[in-house]
Structure 1
Amino acid sequence: MRTNWAGSHVYHARGLAMPNSIEEVQSLVLRTGRLKALGSRHSFSDLADTEGFQVSLERLPRTIEVDGDVVRVPGGLRYGTLAVEMVARGLALGNLASLPHISVAGAVATGTHGSGLHNGSLATAVRAMELVTGTGELVRLSGEDLAGAVVNVGALGIVTSLDLAVEPLYDVTQVVHEGLTWPVLLDRLEDILGAAYSVSVFTLWLGEEVGQVWVKSRGEVPEIPGAHPAGEQRHMISGMAIENTTPQLGVPGPWHERLPHFRMGFLPSAGEELQSEYLVPLSRAREALVAVRGLGEAMADALYVAELRTVAADDLWLSGAYGEDALAIHFTWRRDSVRVGTLAARLEQRLLPLGARPHWGKVFGATAAELAPLYPRWSDFLELAQRFDPDGRFRNAWTERHLGLAP
């Protein structure tokens, strides 16, 4: 029995194929009716499930090629592994997600992000990509179609490699702040979220105090209005082992050991959990926060913690930050699918009218009809999916519910 990493979804695929070459990937596509790429299994739904076979790229050659300020990486490589290889070459990525355990292709395909008012999602680092389409063709994209194909939710094909923008090595200093109150956060929201290179606010939505503010700086460590530095290492979830989190307390360290919240090789987050996330236009952020706080009591028994982050605007068709800077409101839930489904529906009633877009890899209920008006290039993406996958090999129940692409 195969499940996602948190054990919250059991895959119903007939089997798991692990090709050793791109030619084998192409052969699988041509002789298999339905299939889906399976990355690090960090999605919390049936996004990567299929009636046919799942395809893991773990056995493909792990060659990393550097060409100036671009690095070409295998799609199945995990960010934590990639980071170590890049550091050995004197290079860095501009941003990382909260955990380094996820695969590059899977994270990019779902619009996964880190934080920072001036930092785009991980997908914005992509300069080119190669994928095997539904006709078995290996296609390299670097021009007009790239903006439509980067955040692709697995609906276009199997991504075998990506070219990512890189920069020279840099250090990051991480400090956790406490004592921030809701009136101060709402009054100075942009100041606080933009105080450093990357800022995350953790909260339970209840009471006068917000919670923790994780501040990651590439230069001088800023003060946070109305808050003070914690005196000890912190975990954002009460009762969890602090050894799982990346070093704090103002000690500078390499980018890949500070930008994520969790250490590679250690349990990320709470483990057995569910997650939801909605990206709200930053211009509607205060309305969104007030709306979610109104559900604080209703969420209390189901919530481990919530996180607020910012994502810079981009031009990627299915991105949660398409066309406008976004506030990402993330929920880490206890593993109770029925309860979380009910709460997600209540959140969507409040957030979707504000323009909120769900994170594609998390738990949400909004259907294709509800989502289409939120994405100006929605119909263009559907046309792209039909062109790259004319026989619907990469479609499943998830694409039918949320994209209107029936198997």
Structure 2
Amino acid sequence: MAETNWAGNHTYRARIERVRSVEHLQEVVAAAPRVRALGSRHSFTDLTDITDADDGVLVSLVDLPTTVEVDPGTRTARVTGHAAYGDVATQLQRVGWALGNLASLPHISVAGAVATGTHGSGVENGSLATAVGSIDIVGPDGELRTVRRGDADFEGSVVALGALGVVTAVTLDVEPTYDVRQDVYTGLSWEALAAELDAITGSTYSVSLFTRWRGAGIEQVWLKSRSPEAPREPQGAVAATTALHMLEGAAVEAVTEQGGIPGPWLDRLPHFRMGFTPSRGEELQSEYLLPREHALTAIERLRSLGPRLAAVLQVSELRTVAADDHWLSSAYGHDVVGVHFTWLRDEEQVYAVLPAIEEALLPLGARPHWGKCFVADVRELDALYPRMSDFRALRDRVDPDRVFGNAFLDRVLG
């Protein structure tokens, strides 16, 4: 039976090998002319696929156990790369430890999320890659090596799109467990957002703004606080009296608890509960991250595109991410605002509107999320990543024969 990604819009074309151990993975990689790793399959394109089914293998580490080994002395945890963040978080919580941030979905794999620059939200919170202290990676010769923070190649090896090898383990920074409260408000006007954008996005530990680029403004404001005290109410917005889902008509049982009730970090920082199907399932996603100083210009341009987006857009989310030093990170060198789009699962309509979005946002320095839908190729992307040439040189040195290459990387890296 054909296997697909999570969204169901891409069918994998190459043979999938479920490895039984790291040693088995090393043998498979060393023997195959072309290899790509499958994680939780939350990419929306051919990022992890191989075009020619006879020319390689897709490796899945799903049969390997999830392990979480905490070192209290260094405040780190070594975790298996294929593990879902939700499973890692659960194991950390049991022993009194926590991660500093999580993405909206707890179902995504650690290695895949890190490799694509995936993030949560918060003006002082970097992408998930910023918590990485080291990675264990199987290279094209099947050898297992470790790249650590401080090594010359580190900033080029973490957000690397799987182009340098298969990550088997990741060491993450951890901290003692903590509680978070989540408060939701509705009806934030465009005028109030423009007047207080920095104050609103910096008002709590993590902030998400949801809109459909129609009507009077931001429809929902999700504020996640590490303080037990109620956050300052955004100007003109009204506190929600019942739990809300950001998607119209979706089951509220799937979202993490709201209403200002404090609870463990892993049950509040994501938008969705680990035990439920994330989001709505049948959807496509895009996201563009641009320097914060251009956020209001981006908002105005997207508002003008609202009527064109309406037929295919389910919801859009605005979040902030702190700058980092990872060469291929969407937040490299800039504090950014991410503009996320949850689309209907209609590839024709989605790819018809993406050029207009990119025409509006890329001139502002917007970089697309590597794991989501976009149309820009190396011609546009090259200028957006100051260390792109350094990454190419690293890739040439680590994988000169392009064992981990594919059509997606050819398009975006050249």
Do Structure 1 and Structure 2 share a fold, with TM-score over 0.5? yes
Residue number among 57, 61, 66 corresponding to 1:62 in the alignment: 66
Alignment check: 8 A CA contact 1:21 1:61 kept: no
Residue number among 235, 245, 254 corresponding to 2:255 in the alignment: 245
User: Where do 4+ consecutive residues of structure 1 move more than 6 Å?
Assistant: none
- If the length of structure 1 is used for normalisation, what is the TM-score? 0.98
**CA distance in structure 1 between the partners assigned to 2:146 and 2:230 by the alignment:** 42
Matched, 1:277 2:287: yes
What are structure 1's unaligned runs of at least 5 residues?
A: none
Alignment check: 8 A CA contact 1:134 1:390 kept: no
- How far the C-alpha of 1:309 sits from its partner, in A, is 0.2
Q: What is residue 45 of structure 1 aligned with on the other side?
A: 45
Matched, 1:342 2:348: no
**CA distance in structure 2 between the partners assigned to 1:63 and 1:351 by the alignment:** 40
- Cα deviation, 1:206-228, whole Å, max 9, x if unaligned, reads 11132100000000221222212
Higher mean displacement: 260-269 or 118-127? 260-269
**CA distance in structure 2 between the partners assigned to 1:173 and 1:146 by the alignment:** 35
Matched, 1:98 2:107: no
Return the letter of the residue paired with 2:125. N
Higher mean displacement: 306-315 or 15-24? 15-24
Matched, 1:141 2:151: no
What are structure 2's unaligned runs of at least 5 residues?
A: none
Counterparts of residues 104-183 of structure 1 (less than 5 Å): 104-142=110-148, 143-183=151-191
Residue number among 328, 331, 334 corresponding to 1:321 in the alignment: 331
Alignment check: 8 A CA contact 1:177 1:227 kept: yes
- Cα deviation, 1:2-26, whole Å, max 9, x if unaligned, reads 111110111111x111112211111
- If the length of structure 2 is used for normalisation, what is the TM-score? 0.96
Q: What is residue 240 of structure 2 aligned with on the other side?
A: 230
Tell me the C-alpha RMSD between the 2 structures: 0.9
**SS of residue paired to 1:188:** helix
**CA distance in structure 2 between the partners assigned to 1:162 and 1:259 by the alignment:** 21
**CA distance in structure 2 between the partners assigned to 1:64 and 1:231 by the alignment:** 38
Matched, 1:355 2:365: yes
Alignment check: 8 A CA contact 1:29 1:136 kept: yes
Identical aligned residues as a percent: 55
**CA distance in structure 1 between the partners assigned to 2:186 and 2:254 by the alignment:** 20
Matched, 1:392 2:402: yes
Matched, 1:30 2:39: no
Return the letter of the residue paired with 1:174. Q
**CA distance in structure 2 between the partners assigned to 1:121 and 1:403 by the alignment:** 21
- How far the C-alpha of 1:63 sits from its partner, in A, is 2.6
- Cα deviation, 1:261-304, whole Å, max 9, x if unaligned, reads 00012121121000000001001111111111110000001000
Alignment check: 8 A CA contact 1:113 1:311 kept: yes
- Cα deviation, 1:359-391, whole Å, max 9, x if unaligned, reads 000000000111011111100111111222121
- How far the C-alpha of 1:61 sits from its partner, in A, is 3.7
Q: What is residue 81 of structure 1 aligned with on the other side?
A: 87
- How far the C-alpha of 1:323 sits from its partner, in A, is 0.6
Give aligned pairs, total.
403
- How far the C-alpha of 1:60 sits from its partner, in A, is 2.3
Residue number among 184, 201, 206 corresponding to 1:198 in the alignment: 206
**SS of residue paired to 1:289:** helix
Alignment check: 8 A CA contact 1:204 1:305 kept: yes
**CA distance in structure 2 between the partners assigned to 1:70 and 1:386 by the alignment:** 31
Return the letter of the residue paired with 1:241. A
Counterparts of residues 261-272 of structure 1 (less than 5 Å): 261-272=271-282
**CA distance in structure 1 between the partners assigned to 2:194 and 2:4 by the alignment:** 39
Return the letter of the residue paired with 1:124. T
- How far the C-alpha of 1:59 sits from its partner, in A, is 2.0
**CA distance in structure 2 between the partners assigned to 1:23 and 1:217 by the alignment:** 43
